[in-house]
Structure 1
Amino acid sequence: MVEEDSYAKAIDVFVEATATRDPERRATLLSRAVAADVVFWGPLGRGVGREAVEDFITEVVHGHPSGPGRLVRTTRVDAPGEWARFGWRYETATGDTILSGMDVVHVTARGDIDEIIVFAGSLT
């Protein structure tokens, strides 16, 4: 349970970073939650470093054709060891769900995320 709580803190700071439109605040939040050399596996491919995560947030989350949206964690954090997963949804400013999925993250002993794997959409 302790792992899940500490992992949830890092994940929630990451989710908060996706919601902010202020680049300085986003960078500060990401520096608290994500390792500088994070490996990010997103729907558009693989990127390395916080800049890759910031670019994804700017281009995909805030640049979505439906307008800027936000990522919302929809499940508890399940952490069987150093890996954790959580459900999410991407919603419009009015709260309509555009997409949902699950992320799997690797959390270091320092408590920051050094790998993020995004699974968008259902497996049906």
Structure 2
Amino acid sequence: MTDTLHDRAVDAYIAAANATEPGRRMTLLSRALSADVVFWGPLGRGVGRESVADFIAEVVHRHPAGPARMVRTTAVDAPEEWARFGWRYEDTAGQSILTGMDVVHVTPAGDIDQIIVFAGDMT
């Protein structure tokens, strides 16, 4: 598995998180995630692309601080089929709202089939 495969999957996932139109979000999630993706987020566990789309709609796009966008803050570190990357949610002025790290499992086909979200500063 190449780092490019991991980068493509992660970047499509981030683009989906930033898509405000639900149809566009699902198209991007279809490019990034397996249909039966397991999503471990701060609000619990979900299965399927729809659970990820719902999380994005509820938590990202309806954040109390207002509209936010997800930005990858690190390179994708990918030993074999697992990868991790740092991220932050920022407001429209570019101010950080929340930071964290996600760990994802990438299939040989290039789909993410597991996502584990670690939100908050790790220090």
- TM-score, structure 1 length as denominator? 0.96
Q: Does 1:55 align with 2:54?
A: yes
Determine the C-alpha separation between the residues in 2 that align with 1:70 and 1:86: 16
Conserved in 1, the CA contact under 8 Å of 2:100 and 2:122? no
Determine the C-alpha separation between the residues in 1 that align with 2:92 and 2:115: 25
Shift of 1:4: 1.3
Shift of 1:68: 1.6
Deviations 1:32-90 (A, max 9, x none): 10001000000101000001000000000001001120110010000001000000001
Determine the C-alpha separation between the residues in 2 that align with 1:53 and 1:44: 11
- TM-score, structure 2 length as denominator? 0.97
Give the 5 Å matches for 1:84-103.
84-103=83-102
Matched residue count: 123
Shift of 1:123: 2.5
Deviations 1:5-26 (A, max 9, x none): 1100110010000001011111
Q: Which residue of 2 aligns with 1:44?
A: 43
Give the 5 Å matches for 1:1-124.
3-124=2-123
Determine the C-alpha separation between the residues in 1 that align with 2:92 and 2:39: 25
Q: Return 5+ residue gaps in structure 2 as ranges.
A: none
Q: Return 5+ residue gaps in structure 1 as ranges.
A: none
The one-letter amino acid paired with 1:55 is D
Name segments (4+ residues, structure 1) moved above 4 Å.
none
Determine the C-alpha separation between the residues in 1 that align with 2:100 and 2:3: 19
